[in-house]
Amino acid sequence: MDASCFDYKMTDEQRTHFDEQGYLIVEDAIDDDLLGRLVEAGDRVDAQERAAKGMEPDELMSKFRTIVEDDAFLELLDNPKTFPLLWDILGWNIQHYISHLIYYPPEGKSAVDLKPGGWHQDGGRPIHEMERPHPRLSLKVAFWLSDIDAEDRGGIRIIPGSHRRDELPDRQPDGGDHEGALQVRVKAGTAVFFDRRMWHSRGVNTSDRTRKVIFLGYSYRWLRGLDYNVMPDEILEKCDPVRRQLLGDGVDVKGWWQPTDDDVPLKGWLREHLGEDYVKGISEKQVALS
Ligand SMILES: O=C(O)CCC(=O)C(=O)O
């Protein structure tokens, strides 16, 4: 574990922003070296998927469970500039539940009037089966591997504050976009956190370059992984205890609900470096957030 992450603990301003707006932008979250290795790995996975599935070069490539494909992806799990924000939002009883690589080639000139669509909240069946208002449960971090700093580059579209409304906000009276919708515009290397309840959709890439992003989702450990059940031993074996926790490892079944310290090494690591009061404080902040 990289102790430099303690320099990036959540500020009060970040906490308020995430709580009220449902998203948070962390610029320069990944350094140039890691960004280069992620793009290299992403390009390789993209090429393999296209070859294996006989995809056209201009089709959108979407691959889940990408975390096992390269050690560079594993490094994102506890990336120093993003990891502290995760434990500050969700606490120490957390796991990684999904990894999703998307390579979105240009739509082509004929697609200029394509409309962004597919507004949704994340969560599958729980969205329909939980009482309302929904609790947070999980969040995703979008690590941008290409620039999405212009509208035509198809950045993710979000409706800030909509995580606190269980319905998709109405379209504007003139038939325009949903009220409050905006497109995120950031540089490669930026991480964008978003609460799973926030309504979001993919923008349209009419630029001349492929849009590249990997989403990592984090949730409480008492939820199941969405794109894996158990990680392969060869992945777990190369990870330290905290990464193993994040990858769904634990001591026994009961520990999903009632973790001992051995189930959650992150808690012990935070206690060791930041003290018991800090660890207790995290739980209190969570109650305040939800
Ligand atoms: O590709 C995007 O911009 C949106 C992805 C998305 O909707 C999701 O990860 O749930």
Q: Let me know: does 160 contact 21? Beta carbons within 8 Å.
A: yes
**Atom number of ligand 1 nearest to Cα 140:** 9
Name the residue at shortest CA distance from atom 2 of ligand 1: 202
Percent of the residues in the chain that have a pLDDT greater than 90, as a whole number? 86
Q: Tens of pLDDT along 196-240? A: 999 999 999 999 999 999 999 999 999 999 999 999 999 999 999
d(CA 273, CA 5): 11
Ligand 1 geometric centre to CA of 58 (Å): 18
pLDDT in tens, 45-69: 999 999 999 999 999 999 999 999 9
Q: Give pLDDT, residue 285.
A: 67
CA of 136 to the centre of ligand 1 (A): 17
Q: Confirm or reject: Cβ of 18 under 6 Å from ligand 1.
A: no
Atom of ligand 1 nearest to the CA of 102: 1
46 lines ligand 1 (CB under 6 A): no
Beta carbon of 122 within 6 Å of any ligand 1 atom: yes
Q: At 177, is the pLDDT very low, low, confident or very high (cuts 50, 70, 90)?
A: confident
Here the contacts of 267-272 (C-beta below 8 Å, separation 24 or greater) are 267/92, 267/93, 269/1, 269/241, 269/242, 270/87, 270/92
Res 171: pLDDT:
87
Q: Is 215 in the pocket of ligand 1 (CB under 6 A)?
A: yes
pLDDT range class, residue 108, cuts 50, 70, 90: confident
* Ligand 1 contacts CB of residue 198 (under 6 A): no
What's the confidence (pLDDT) of residue 112?
52
Listed in sequence order, the residues at least 6 apart from 230 whose beta carbon sits closer than 8 Å to its beta carbon are 248
Task: Give the closest residue (by CA) to ligand 1 atom 7.
Answer: 201
Give the strand order in the sheet containing 23-26.
23-26, 191-195, 138-144, 211-220, 94-104, 61-64
Ligand 1, closest atom to CA 200? 7
Of all protein residues, the one whose alpha carbon is nearest to atom 10 of ligand 1 is 122
Query: pLDDT value at position 28?
Result: 98
What predicted TM-score, i.e. pTM, was given to this entire model?
A: 0.95
> In the chain, what is the straight-line distance between the N-terminal and C-terminal CA atoms, in Å?
28
For residues 270 and 208, what is the distance between their CA atoms, to the nearest angstrom?
45
Per-residue pLDDT, 286: 64
Summarize pLDDT for 231-249 with one digit per residue, the tens: 999 999 999 999 999 999 9
- Identify the band that residue 166 occupies on the pLDDT scale cut at 50, 70 and 90: confident
Distance (Å) from CA 202 to ligand 1 centroid:
6
What per-residue confidence (pLDDT) applies to 243? 98
pLDDT number for residue 38: 98
Which among 62, 101, 201, 204 is the best mutation to test ligand 1's pocket, defined by most ligand atoms within 8 Å of the CB? 201
Q: Which atom of ligand 1 is nearest to the CA of 155?
A: 3
CA 280 to centroid of ligand 1, rounded, Å: 33
CATH numbers and ranges of domains, the chain: 3-289 (2.60.120.620)
pLDDT at 117: 66
For tokens 């979001």, name the residue: 200
Give 120-175 as a DSSP string: E-S-SHHHHHS-SSPP--EEEEEEESS---STTB---EE-TTGGG-SSPPPBPTTS
Ligand 1 nearest atom to the CA of residue 154, by list position: 3
In tens, the pLDDT along 112-157 reads 556 666 899 998 999 999 999 999 999 999 999 999 999 999 999 9
CB 86 within 8 A of CB 68: no
Most confident of 4-13, 163-172, 277-286: 4-13
CA of 193 to the centre of ligand 1 (A): 12
pLDDT per position as a tens digit, 252-263: 999 999 999 999
Nearest CA to ligand 1 atom 4: 202
Q: Are the C-beta atoms of 225 and 64 separated by less than 8 Å?
A: no
Return the H-helix or E-strand segment holding 64: strand 61-64
Q: Nearest residue CA, atom 1 of ligand 1? A: 202
Predicted confidence at residue 134, as pLDDT, reads 93
Indicate if the pLDDT at residue 37 is higher than 90: yes
Q: Which helix (H) or strand (E) holds 33?
A: helix 32-53
Residue-averaged pLDDT of the chain: 93
Q: What is residue 97's DSSP assignment?
A: E
